[in-house]
Chains A and B, each alone.
Chain A
């Protein structure tokens, strides 16, 4: 069955403007009669909650953390894109739109991406008005930097803490509305299920994580802003609590899940150090502005390094292989993430990895330190040939740009990155796939919306750096608050939704059964035991490089693991208390289903595109080979009782504005 994205007609550049002026509105007096639930308080959820409350809706917002400010958007480092063209380097809405489609390897919906590029400039204005302290130059104007996959500087930033500052901005906007009573905030609450009444989303069952009580909450619309599902890999750069459960629960209630296999493996993360590892730490892509990536040219040098006989700094220039600069001269170290990750894997698989595990490459700042140092010496009228002075001045510049990242690296690895090159390796970071939504960001359940990383729409098969923050805030501040009115306009006479309806009762009872079964299971293995096993299957068989055989095995193994989980998992404690293991068990149960659908989706898509690399589909040089003839569509899966029975719906992707080309960064 074909899916209808409800994309408005007309030229792509006019669609959003025309759509906004034609959709239904809810009058200010009627907005007071309408309740909206928002699940999640990252950039998308917090900005949507604040804006919906400003408009006059009664908002109830939920987060599982102890405060909305903890949501994992806080950890985004590098920056946020916007087509401001403040640098006068040829940027425009069209160029941001084009870069994002191309970066996504022609697997995203054109109209959504254009809208994203259009509202990007408003985001910066809004955030500055809120008091977000972006980096500025000496003239007092906003500064920009460059990110991967583009040829302009359009990234706004606040040191290496851009996500933190943007989230605190959205959190402050929420706080203002909480103070006014327009948002009722539920901290330490987890959404356990969606309640559907007469085919419409009408509320949720939530669990108070402090006392374990189940609660019924009703609303006229439910917005899912619960982020991505990278933790299906166990090890990822996501927060420990990041989970797919809200998205998965609505999937099981009828929302299609789109492109689950589109995962971003980020090239610059701190390598795994041992079995005890609980999470991986990102080193911002912004570092690739100034860092050069390399491995030794000679395998003997690699051996000496691993044996501790040779230091990276002792290898001369001619014996280094700056493989990104070599393979992709036009973009060099700033190729998109999927390309950079695969190139690192290729070198490490060939035996050139530079740490004990053989899974690390160098990210080297020596050249940048010298360059900046000379510039500073020149500005200050000092001796440009005094290498110690130049190094000191250069390190100062690098510290001011990336200080917190360097400190983080040093604390984790116990090595000084100002003196020695960093060691990095790719890690799971972001999921482009997610809940399928139409142009209005509504899922296939009427009245249920998905925004931010939780949906699938804007990044295709690969997301460009600094675009996640842009999409989260675009959806929450500038898109959803308009489009939700189109649906709610029919609900002005509905009145409060009664939580004693049988649908609420049934949903709550089902949740209770699952929770009780976990704590009464008395199995022998902990929840983490299963999560780690799942993660290993995912990384080994559905990771950076995928093939038919491994994916088929993964499906069988995950299915078997899930059965074993329900039989043998051990969840201590009771359902009526603060019980972290119980909360985790529910999340892992959902990952065990999603993982299988992920592998099934990856198997079905027998082409390489963006972050999805199928070994069967590559060029003789080993570059990804897309198959536009057979795969220019979104895979949207409908739940049919279990992942193996999921039914595929295709949304054909039509490109009216952009010519579909082979993606090349050479």
Chain B
């Protein structure tokens, strides 16, 4: 199929960006979206135009590195997939596709479609862990039975890949879904209970300092999340935060 692509081009963080139009031909419906971008970049290199910078790595939907805002949706029109798992069969011959970076104050553009999401790392560094050293003498893994229901819920929260689609989709650029997923994982497990109070306070504080917006419960994040992280986690984090504030 033949397509017109409108792509955000921005040389670096300080430069002014703009949308550029490119035409691309003979795209197979079996290609992934990023393979289509590879074809476009080969074409641009051949024409002496700077290829489009975009983040990607595993190309199997798990590393969380790819991050395109396609036709107004984080990771494009398909549900429960990252950009790398979006396939061209979701588009039609002759379509015009708009491709932008994940936009948020806390995610400054590095170049073109590549943004800096290190704010997510800093939120995790503020408390997204259990303080246990490697010693080889931790208690036997089966010493604490965990109800399957809780373990499964903790897993569902832990499945977050940290891509930032939730932030990009939110009109307030809120990171509540991302932060609450980590808080929930540990809140649901006995290992995480010991530090629960400090964790939620510190992570929320860092989240605010990074410049993420507030949550107004629109639920856009849940719709666009490639891993189906549930809004239930935000409710759980609010509960944790309230208890922690009362204790603190």
Contact = CB atoms under 8 A, between A and B. Distances in A.
Interface of A: 47, 50-51, 54, 65-72, 74-75, 84, 86, 119, 122, 124-131, 133-142, 158-159, 161, 164-165, 168, 171-173, 175-176, 178-179, 185, 187, 210, 237, 239-241, 273-274, 276-279, 281-282, 407-408, 411-412, 414, 477-478, 481, 526, 528, 570, 572-573, 577-578, 580-581
A138 B148 contact: yes
A161 B159 contact: yes
Given A65-B57, A140-B147, A273-B30, A131 B110 contact: no
A172 B129 contact: yes
A276 B39 contact: yes
B58 to A, nearest CB: 4
Ranked nearest first, the 3 interchain pairs of A and B with the lowest CB-CB distance are A140-B145, A172-B129, A133-B155
A554 B31 CA distance: 30
A130 B129 contact: yes
Given A47-B134, A573-B50, A124 B141 contact: yes
A640 to B, nearest CB: 34
B80 interface: yes
B130 A172 contact: yes
Contacts of A282: 60
Given A135-B151, A172-B128, A276 B28 contact: yes
B59 interface: yes
23 contacts: A69-B64, A69-B162, A84-B141, A131-B192, A133-B151, A136-B147, A140-B145, A140-B147, A158-B158, A161-B62, A161-B159, A164-B159, A175-B128, A175-B129, A187-B118, A237-B60, A240-B56, A273-B30, A278-B34, A281-B60, A412-B85, A526-B45, A580-B51
Given A125-B140, A141-B142, A411-B87, A175 B124 contact: yes
Residue among B34, B45, B87, B131 facing the most chain A CB atoms (10 A cut-off): B45
A578 B124 contact: no
B141 A136 contact: no
A51 B136 CA distance: 11
Contacts of B58: 70, 72, 74-75, 239-240
A347 B139 CA distance: 49
Interface in B105-133: 110-111, 114, 116-118, 120-121, 124-126, 128-133
A449 to B, nearest CB: 17
Interface stretch (B91-99, B169-177, B183-191): B183-191
Contacts of B151: 133-136, 140
Contacts of B148: 136-138, 140
B45 A129 contact: no
A412 B62 CA distance: 14
A70 B57 contact: yes
A284 to B, nearest CB: 11
Interface of B: 11-12, 28, 30-32, 34-35, 38-39, 42, 45-46, 48, 50-51, 53, 55-65, 78, 80-81, 85, 87, 89, 110-111, 114, 116-118, 120-121, 124-126, 128-134, 136, 138-142, 144-148, 151-152, 154-155, 158-159, 161-162, 185-186, 189, 191-192
A578 B110 contact: yes
Given A187-B121, A277-B35, A578-B114, A129 B162 contact: no
Residue among B58, B131, B152 facing the most chain A CB atoms (10 A cut-off): B58
A173 B32 contact: no
B50 to A, nearest CB: 6
Given A158-B155, A176-B129, A274-B28, A477 B111 contact: no
A139 B87 contact: no
A523 to B, nearest CB: 11
A240 B45 contact: no
Given A67-B162, A122-B136, A129-B138, A278 B63 contact: no
B161 to A, nearest CB: 8
B139 A239 contact: no
B42 A133 contact: no
A315 to B, nearest CB: 25
B53 A130 contact: no
B162 A131 contact: no
Contact of A175 (B39, B80, B121): B121
A21 to B, nearest CB: 13
A408 B61 contact: yes
A164 B130 contact: no
B182 to A, nearest CB: 8
A572 B45 contact: yes
Contacts of B31: 274, 276
Contacts of B64: 67, 69-70, 74
A173 B191 CA distance: 14
A580 B111 CA distance: 11
Residue among B57, B118, B185 facing the most chain A CB atoms (10 A cut-off): B57
A526 B42 CA distance: 7
Contacts of B140: 125
Contact of A70 (B63, B136, B192): B63
A479 to B, nearest CB: 11
Contact of B155 (A119, A165, A577): A165
Contacts of A414: 30, 87, 89
A438 B102 CA distance: 46
A528 B42 contact: yes
Nearest to A84: B141
B185 A131 contact: yes
Residue among A131, A158, A241, A580 facing the most chain B CB atoms (10 A cut-off): A131
Given A178-B125, A282-B60, A411-B61, 6 more contacts: A122-B136, A125-B141, A161-B62, A164-B159, A176-B125, A580-B51
A67 B120 contact: yes
Nearest to A524: B46
A570 B45 contact: yes
A414 B28 CA distance: 13
Nearest to B186: A131
A515 to B, nearest CB: 17
Contacts of B51: 572, 580-581
A72 B128 CA distance: 21
Given A136-B151, A138-B148, A577 B12 contact: yes
Residue among B141, B144, B191 facing the most chain A CB atoms (10 A cut-off): B141
A278 B158 contact: no
Contacts of A66: 55, 65, 116-118
A179 B126 contact: yes
